[in-house]
């Protein structure tokens, strides 16, 4: 989960670089948009997949290793919120990718909310660590 969150964070940074390029205020020496877009997609897609796999592994481990009923923790609640937002970011991102819409701000805002929810889930996850 640490690795997937770090990847999601770098995906977000690549997304912000794309935003600056789109608005014509790219940092001096920044790579062209195509490179930035490949970077964003190459990080965001695996990050969402890894988070979904981790989300499935969490309750399995709670049930199998801790012998406790799953989804009874604040961590699970925040994790569920985060995963939902990440999936929404992926859906809106795909629309941008395939030129079906130009709602950049919505995608960016959902992505930011997803990262914040994931950070909160991470904080709430530490007490569960063995």
Q: Which of 22, 35, 53, 103 binds ligand HEM (CB under 6 A)?
A: 22
Site for ligand HEM in 89-128 (CB under 6 A): 89-90, 93-94, 96-97, 104-105, 107-108, 111, 114-115, 118, 121-122, 125-126, 128
Question: Is residue 85 at the binding interface for ligand HEM, with CB under 6 A as the rule?
Answer: no
Question: Does the protein bind ligand HEM through residue 84 (CB under 6 A)?
Answer: no
Dihedrals phi, psi of 17, to nearest 5 degrees: -65, -40
According to CB under 6 A, which one of 6, 35, 38, 71 is a site residue for ligand HEM?
A: 71
Is 64 in a helix, a strand, or coil? helix
Q: Helix, strand, or coil here: 98?
A: coil
Q: Are 14 and 43 in contact (CB under 8 A)?
A: yes
Strand (E) or helix (H) holding 71:
none
Neighbouring residues of 52: CB distance < 8 A, sequence distance ≥ 6: 83, 86, 87
- Phi and psi at residue 69, to the nearest 5°: -65, 130
Cα distance between residue 85 and residue 62, in whole Å: 23
**Residue in 19, 50, 88, 116 binding ligand HEM, rule: CB under 6 A:** 19
What does the binding site for ligand HEM look like in residue numbers (CB under 6 A)?
1-2, 5, 8, 11-12, 15-16, 18-19, 22, 37, 40-41, 44-45, 47-48, 51, 54-55, 58-59, 61-62, 65-66, 70-73, 75-76, 79, 82-83, 86, 89-90, 93-94, 96-97, 104-105, 107-108, 111, 114-115, 118, 121-122, 125-126, 128-129
């Amino acid at each position: 989960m640490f690795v997937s969150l770090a990847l999601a964070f770098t995906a977000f940074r690549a997304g912000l670089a794309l935003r600056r390029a789109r608005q014509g205020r790219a940092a001096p020496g920044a790579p062209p948009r195509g490179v930035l877009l490949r970077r964003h997609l190459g990080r965001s897609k695996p990050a969402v997949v890894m988070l979904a796999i981790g989300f499935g592994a969490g309750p399995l481990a709670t049930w199998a290793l801790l012998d406790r009923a799953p989804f009874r923790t604040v961590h699970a609640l925040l994790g569920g919120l985060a995963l939902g937002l990440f999936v929404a970011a992926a859906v809106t991102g795909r629309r941008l990718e395939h030129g079906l819409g130009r709602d950049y701000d919505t995608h960016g805002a959902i992505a930011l909310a997803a990262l914040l929810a994931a950070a909160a889930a991470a904080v709430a996850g530490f007490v569960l660590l063995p």
